[in-house]
Amino acid sequence: MADAPPQVTGRWVTAATYSVHTGLSPFTLANWRWKDRKAGRTEAGAGYPRYRYFGAAVRYWLEA
């Protein structure tokens, strides 16, 4: 019998939703993304929230 797939323990949310749950300003999140881009990273650096682009939309990973 095969092992069960791992449970998903979070979801991708908008910057506004992420801000409500964490207390971080959407402008702070945008500044951190800019710093990542300036450093040549395609994903969040250490200590920054995990984010991804879905087309032009930015989404942040919110743990459940």
Could you identify the residue written with the tokens 């095969």?
2
pLDDT at 10: 94
What is the secondary structure of 11-63 as a DSSP string? EEE-HHHHHHHH---HHHHHHHHHHHHHTT-SSPPTTSPPEEEETTEEEEEEE
- Is the pLDDT reported for residue 1 higher than 70? no
Reported as a pLDDT band with limits 50, 70 and 90, residue 5 is: confident
Tokens describing residue 11: 């979801």
Tokens describing residue 22: 């964490």
Using one digit for the tens of pLDDT, what is the confidence trace for 15-49? Answer: 999 999 999 999 999 999 999 999 999 889 888 99
Amino acid (one-letter) located at 34: W
